[in-house]
Amino acid sequence: MKTFPTSAVWCFGILFISVSLITTGSSEVQVVGPPDRVVALAGDDVILPCFLKPSNSAEDMAVEWTGLKLKTRNVHLYRQGRDSNEDQFPSYRGRTSMFHEELKNGIVSLKLTRVTLSDAGSYRCFIPTLTSQVKETTVQLFVGAVSQPVISIDGTKGWGVVLKCESGGWFPEPEMEWLDSSGTILPADGPPERHRDSEDLYALRQHVTVDQTDTNRFTCRVHQTEINHLKETEIHVPDDVFPILPYWWKVGLLIAAAVIVLGAFVVLTASAGVYMWRKHRGADDRTSSENQSNHSLYDSH
């Protein structure tokens, strides 16, 4: 019976292992997306990440981007080396593109321009020609909206000035607060008024009454923690906007201050007098006691 030489067996084994590794490597190429959702602001451009891992050229592959809430309608299609968007969903026309120069590196991400609130949702990145079982991934897109607060002077109350802050065009619903020049939160005149418009955007309005300070600077801050965005507007209130105290009020305050100072002086003077009297009387009592003691000694002799 003939046997293979040992060297031939080793060569055959190495060849088999090499082929197996190549085949296994090809089958392990997967479509990968971002671990977290993608957050964008309305009006901005955004990239929905998708790539092959390990890196392999996707130039000759078909890439399908679909919106899951659109019942798998076409968002962007690349095949046969070019974009093929004849059946693209109307709202995405002219707003989608891929990075063709990066396809050779396995990057099949989608760029979406001028994002709108209606673009939010789940997107599927699918490569049907891939031999791997993991041919797709899902990318979550969250879209928010922000706007700059507007401050106005809304009259006076007592000796303070009433300020009004308004800000619309927010999504999701934000929070509003007032701050002084040192960053301390001021107590507002009540909770903010809230309403939602026909485009599902939130608007807020809130008043605060402020007293005159060294700077007369106050800030309205609107923030949305879910999209990690805030907007601030500062206002400087001129001194002459604050109510002026009447003359008799000024005289009354001066008299009250004078009375307080005079009263404090009288109390301090009286206290000092009592203290000196008690001290002097204590000295006299000690002297009298010493004299009586001396007389008693003299009488005993």
- Tens of pLDDT, residues 128-137: 988 888 899 9
Cβ within 8 Å of residue 119, ≥6 positions away: 112, 141, 143
- Range name among 63-77, 149-163, 212-226, 267-281 with the lowest pLDDT average: 267-281
Domain for residue 246, yes or no?
A: no
Close Cβ partners of 95 (under 8 Å, ≥ 6 residues apart): 112, 113, 114
Q: Can you say how many angstroms the Cα of residue 119 is from the centroid of all Cα atoms in its chain?
A: 22
DSSP state of 61: S
Q: Are 201 and 118 in the same domain?
A: no
Of the ranges 34-43, 130-139, 287-296, which one carries the lowest mean pLDDT score?
A: 287-296
SS (H, E, C) 236-291: ECCHHHCCCCCHHHHHHHHHHHHHHHHHHHHHHHHHHHHHHHHHHHHHHHHHHHHH
What residue numbers bound the domain in which 140 lies? 28-144
Asked if residue 133 and residue 34 are part of one domain, the reply reads yes
Dihedral through CA 167, CA 168, CA 171, CA 177, nearest 10? 20
Query: Does the structure show a pLDDT above 90 at 71?
Result: no
The two beta strands, 30-32 and 51-53, are antiparallel
Residue 235 maps to a domain: yes
Q: Is the pLDDT of residue 5 over 60?
A: no
**Residue written as token pair 């000196």:** 276
3-state secondary structure of 97: strand
Q: Give the Cα separation of 167 and 150 in Å (integer).
A: 6
Domain stops at, among 144, 173, 207:
144
| Window from 12-16, 102-106, 143-147 with minimum mean pLDDT | 12-16
pLDDT (average), residues 247-276? 66
User: Are 88 and 192 within one domain?
Assistant: no
Tell me whether residue 70 is in a domain.
yes
Q: What is the CATH number of the domain that holds 63?
A: 2.60.40.10
Q: How far is CA 194 from CA 153, 167, 175, 197, 203, in A?
A: 20, 10, 10, 10, 6
Q: Are residues 133 and 229 in the same domain?
A: no
Does 268 fall in a domain?
A: no
Backbone φ and ψ for 233, nearest 5 degrees, come out as: -135, 135
Tell me the C-alpha distance between 174 and 160, whole Å. 27
Which among 241, 261, 286 is the end of a domain?
241
**Region of 216 on the Ramachandran plot (φ > 0 left; ψ -120 to 50 alpha; else beta):** left
Report the pLDDT value the prediction gives residue 18, as an integer from 0 to 100.
36
SS3 110: strand
Co-location of 154 and 228 in the same domain: yes
Residue 169 placed within a domain: yes
- Residue 118 located in a structural domain: yes
Q: How far is CA 126 from CA 113, 209, 218, in A?
A: 21, 57, 52
Three-state DSSP state, 297: helix
**Is residue 47 in a domain?**
yes
32 and 140 in a common domain: yes
> Total domain count for the chain?
2
Measured between alpha carbons, how far is 56 from 77 in angstroms, rounded to an integer?
A: 19
According to the model, what pLDDT value does residue 274 have? Answer: 65
Q: Is residue 254 part of a domain?
A: no
